[in-house]
Amino acid sequence: MAHSDVTIRTAAPDDGAALLLLVGELGYPMEAGILQTNLENLIHDPECALLVAEIANEVCGVAMAYTSKSLTNGRCAVIGNLVVSENKRGFGIGSRLVTELKNWTKQRGLTTIRVGSQTYREAAHKFYENLGFTKIKTQHWFQYTLGD
């Protein structure tokens, strides 16, 4: 597969079924309706980039970044999701997606991109390090779900 065979484009509502498979490969199985709602919300969010990679009109990767704001870090981009189909890994698709997210970040006047990765995903850590990312910390995330 040649690098030129890969097309990167903005995600569309009809990508839902393919994205459901991709997030499942990453270990996040979810209901199709929830993913579809999230997809449509993110597509229309001006503070978010949601991109897909295609080969021969078949979605084989997805990447999402959003603008984050904090007192300590100011504004930066955060990669929220990045996954390439297992059988398409190692061909530069993930790198192409990250390059497009870097371009999106620059277009917004931001100078930093952050990404979180589960501690056990050693291949992902190496991937990001090979792209010039540096490990800045290890942390735990906590969640609280609000009731109705």
Per-residue pLDDT tens for 102-129?
999 999 999 999 999 888 889 999 999 9
Place 4 in a pLDDT band, splitting at 50, 70 and 90: low
Phi, psi of 74 (to 5 degrees): 65, -140
- pLDDT at site 79: 95
- Percent of the chain beyond pLDDT 70? 97
Where are the chain's structural domains? Answer: 3-130
**3-class DSSP state of 110:** coil
The domain defined by 3-130 carries CATH number 3.40.630.30? yes
